[in-house]
Amino acid sequence: MAVKAERIAVGTVLAVAAVLWGWAIGSRPLQPYYASAVHSMSHDVTAFFFAGFDPAGVVTVDKPPLAFWTQTLGVAVFGFHPWAIALVQVIEGVAAVFVLNRLVRRWAGPRTALLAAALFALTPVTAAINHDNLPDTLLVLLLLLAAYSVTRAIEDARWLSLAGVFVGLGFLTKMLAAWIVLPGLALAYFVAAPGSRGRRLARIGLAGGVTLVVSLAWPVVVSLWPGAKPFVGSTTDGSVWQLAFGYNGLTRLVGGTTGIGGGYGAAVGTALGGGAGPLRLFNTEVGGQIAWLLPLAVTSLIVAACRARGAAPQTKGGWALWGGWLVVGAAVFSFTGGIFHAYYTAELAPAIAALAAAGLVTAWEWFRAGGRARFVLPAAVAGTAVLAYVLLDRTPDWAPWLRYTVLVLAVLSVVAALLRAPRVAAVTGLAALLAGPAAFVVDTAARPVTVLETADPEAGPPPTDALHRVIGLNTGQGAEAGYVRFIDSADQLSPGQREVLAYAQASSASVALAVEGGTYGADPFLLNTDARVAPLGGYLGFDPAPSAADLPQWVASGKLRFVLLPRVFVDMGRAAAKQRGAVAASTDAGELTRRVGWEARHCRPVPPARIGPDAATAGVLFDCGVRP
């Protein structure tokens, strides 16, 4: 491929990716939990360093800060707008496509690199995360930079430490998820680098030390911080180590009760990602996001392993890198028994794209060369098309013609291959492979989403009501339906909420208004005002931030006076009371229950008429400065 033609082709792929991921960038809702944190971080240095959710310094978000630091940089340049945060995500996503292209080019040449970039850009789960403001976008970019550094280290060992830096930065983006690629990176260097085994192992150990130092730098500072600091969200004791290795570690992998939310982690994992097992990546919840080319990638890896003898070190290193990345990552995500979302599999997308591209290019070369191996390409097209039909058939009312079109294209490709028409076989075969995932990606760009969906982003037509089942919503009515509406309005400040905030700001408390029950109730205030509003209880209201025992001290010191209990929790409480305890509260909700109980006993509800005509719609405002 000529250099000029290659540059044009790569530029086209990058431009298409930017358009697809940046489409309607100004009107898409973002995950309000993380967007609120970025707003707070852009106004307060302490919140910026600790990834604090609120400017009052009550609690942090449930992730380390690096992804939100980059988003805050976008806000610093353009001002606080949802599109400014979304733009950072698009830039990081496009950069990841470019890095993958450069990385695969060093391993397998320009044709494979171009195809890998296109397959990666058209992977549905990649589009899903790049349309949201989750940290996974930056994580994928950093891991690709680490992999690129390893390929350079095969020629110049000094690059290996840089790979450790990038993985460490990945840890500061999404903690243990970044370490999943370490076996693949280490294996690639060990297989391909020159020098004795002892020297290679020593260099790998040194790079591992760099990874550990960078990974733990921020947690160590947070742990040793001498002054006041926000409570570390989604933990039981405010420990950053529990966040890293509990809530974002063992609780994700095996379930259990480590950290806040562990009590329902397995249930959430099953609802949002299906049951753990070897076929999870193909199930109804996950398959449409990542599985389209997975069998092709695995088959390519197996064939390469069988033919590895005599291959050049750089070639062996590439297969080891992507193979280790995919095998370890697929095993982790398939058998994770705790909290699991389908979008986690975005971390597998680069490896699948690279391996599938390498397999297709090799099959094409065999096809052109003739012999028995020429049948590998039509077989690959046929098998992948059948899988695409199965995935598309799960949403039969969405583009019902598409699954049949995929089969027709595959048949045309196979027939053209048998008739020795290589160009027709290549064009129709590639169309059969990409039609399904590309349609999902385009649908993601065009389809409006709700705020509720931003918490569990997915590409294409939603195949299940997984989020509703997590909440407990079985019908369109009742308290649970009210909770869905409550979340979906978390990025908007209602007239009633404005009245409540104005009334509360008349006090001299350092926290102008505290909102009970988690961050979704506080999000509207933080996204639309600069007021010192804080959630009680962190993300879901379960954190002891503060505990019920802390509230009297907060009130006595002048830190807190007014607490808002959103309307939805009042309604849900009444519904539970009518069922006489039939609805059992989660064990994680104990601290939330104790706080609300203290507020009801020691604080006075403010009559809505005293606040404003719409105040009752916002909920119950408690004045804790006056005893009831």
Task: Tell me, yes or no, whether 492 and 412 share the same domain.
Answer: no
Q: Which of 442, 499, 492, 477 is nearest to 617 (CA)?
A: 499
Task: Tell me, yes or no, whether 430 and 310 share the same domain.
Answer: yes
How far is residue 16's CA from residue 566's CA, in Å, rounded to a whole number? Answer: 43
The pLDDT of residue 472: 54
**DSSP label of 245:** I
Q: How far does CA 607 lie from the centroid of its chain? A: 42
Q: What is the pLDDT of residues 293-304, one digit of tens each?
A: 999 999 999 999
Task: Tell me, yes or no, whether 162 and 69 share the same domain.
Answer: yes
The pLDDT of residue 581: 44
Q: Where are the alpha helices (DSSP H) in 182-264?
A: 182-192, 197-224, 240-242, 251-254
The pLDDT of residue 475: 45
The pLDDT of residue 588: 64
Q: Which of 175, 162, 259, 161 is nearest to 216 (CA)?
A: 175
**DSSP label of 259:** S
How far is residue 314's CA from residue 491's CA, in Å, rounded to a whole number? Answer: 49
Q: What is the pLDDT of residues 325-348, one digit of tens each?
A: 999 999 999 999 888 999 999 999
The pLDDT of residue 466: 56
Tokens 């600790």 locate to 50
How far is residue 282's CA from residue 297's CA, in Å, rounded to a whole number? Answer: 14
- Give Cβ neighbours of residue 294 (< 8 Å, ≥ 6 apart): 281, 282, 330, 352
Q: What is the pLDDT of residues 2-44, one digit of tens each?
A: 889 999 999 999 999 999 999 999 888 999 999 999 999 999 9
Tokens 């949201």 locate to 132
Residue 103 domain-assigned (yes or no):
yes
Token pair recorded at residue 273: 């990602």
* pTM of the full structure: 0.95
For range 385-413, the mean pLDDT: 96
The pLDDT of residue 582: 38
Average pLDDT score over the chain:
91
For range 382-404, the mean pLDDT: 96
The pLDDT of residue 587: 53
For range 172-194, the mean pLDDT: 97
Residue 469 domain-assigned (yes or no):
no
**DSSP label of 618:** T
Task: Tell me, yes or no, whether 523 and 601 share the same domain.
Answer: yes
Q: How far does CA 330 lie from the centroid of its chain? A: 16
Q: How many CA atoms lie within 13 A of 48 on its CB side?
A: 11
Task: Tell me, yes or no, whether 490 and 410 share the same domain.
Answer: no
Q: Are strands 619-623 and 562-566 parallel, antiparallel or unpaired?
A: antiparallel
How far is residue 147's CA from residue 116's CA, in Å, rounded to a whole number? Answer: 15
Q: Is the peptide bond before 535 cis (omega within 30 degrees of 0)?
A: no
**DSSP label of 231:** B
The pLDDT of residue 575: 64
For range 237-252, the mean pLDDT: 91
How far is residue 463's CA from residue 407's CA, in Å, rounded to a whole number? Answer: 21
Q: What is the pLDDT of residues 115-126, one digit of tens each?
A: 999 999 999 999
Cα separations in angstroms, 4 against 88, 108, 267, 539: 29, 19, 53, 50
Token pair recorded at residue 337: 């028994």
Task: Tell me, yes or no, whether 310 and 218 share the same domain.
Answer: yes
Q: How many CB atoms lie within 10 A of CB 369?
A: 9
**DSSP label of 509:** -
In the chain, DSSP finds a helix count (H) and a strand count (E) of 30, 5
For range 398-413, the mean pLDDT: 97
For range 67-71, the mean pLDDT: 98
For range 457-464, the mean pLDDT: 80
Task: Tell me, yes or no, whether 76 and 217 share the same domain.
Answer: yes
Residue 97 domain-assigned (yes or no):
yes
What is the pLDDT confidence band of residue 311, given thresholds at 50, 70 and 90?
A: confident
The pLDDT of residue 237: 93
The pLDDT of residue 468: 56
How far is residue 72's CA from residue 157's CA, in Å, rounded to a whole number? Answer: 34
Task: Tell me, yes or no, whether 199 and 146 share the same domain.
Answer: yes
Q: Angle formed by the axes of helices 136-153 and 313-335, to 10°?
A: 150
Task: Tell me, yes or no, whether 502 and 424 share the same domain.
Answer: no
Q: Specify whether the CB–CB gap between 533 and 497 falls below 8 A.
A: no
Residue 244 domain-assigned (yes or no):
yes
For range 177-184, the mean pLDDT: 98
The pLDDT of residue 474: 46
Task: Tell me, yes or no, whether 177 and 299 share the same domain.
Answer: yes
For range 183-190, the mean pLDDT: 98
Q: Which of 51, 135, 61 is nearest to 519 (CA)?
A: 61
pLDDT at position 583 over 90: no
Domain boundary (421, 444, 467) is at 444
Residue 35 domain-assigned (yes or no):
no
First to last CA, the chain: 79
pLDDT at position 618 over 60: yes
Q: How far does CA 313 lie from the centroid of its chain? A: 34
Q: What is the pLDDT of residues 136-168, one digit of tens each?
A: 999 999 999 999 999 999 999 999 999 999 999
How far is residue 202's CA from residue 374's CA, in Å, rounded to a whole number? Answer: 44
How many distinct structural domains can be found in the chain?
2
Q: What is the pLDDT of residues 223-243, one digit of tens each?
A: 999 989 999 999 999 999 999
Q: Angle formed by the axes of helices 422-446 and 400-418, to 10°?
A: 160
Domain of residue 435 covers 3-30+62-444
The pLDDT of residue 467: 56
Residue 362 domain-assigned (yes or no):
yes
Task: Tell me, yes or no, whether 149 and 256 share the same domain.
Answer: yes
pLDDT at position 314 over 90: no
Q: Specify whether the CB–CB gap between 181 and 329 falls below 8 A.
A: yes
Share of the chain above pLDDT 90, in %: 79
Residues in the chain: 628
Residue 613 domain-assigned (yes or no):
yes
pLDDT at position 390 over 80: yes
Question: CB burial class (10 A; 0-12, 13-18, 19+) of residue 439?
Answer: buried
Task: Tell me, yes or no, whether 525 and 598 share the same domain.
Answer: yes
Q: What angle do CA 118, 31, 435 make, to 5 degrees?
A: 25
Q: How many CB atoms lie within 10 A of CB 237?
A: 11
- Edge-first strand order for the sheet with 604-605 is 533-536, 513-516, 562-566, 619-623, 604-605
Share of the chain above pLDDT 70, in %: 92
Q: What is the pLDDT of residues 461-508, one digit of tens each?
A: 875 555 555 555 444 556 667 888 889 899 999 999 999 999 999 988
The pLDDT of residue 480: 66
What kind and span of H or E run contains 413?
A: helix 400-418
Residue 36 domain-assigned (yes or no):
no
Token pair recorded at residue 241: 């180590």
Domain boundary (426, 444, 462) is at 444
For range 515-521, the mean pLDDT: 93
For range 423-434, the mean pLDDT: 96
Q: Specify whether the CB–CB gap between 326 and 298 falls below 8 A.
A: yes
Domain boundary (419, 444, 469) is at 444
Q: Specify whether the CB–CB gap between 524 and 493 falls below 8 A.
A: yes
The pLDDT of residue 268: 60
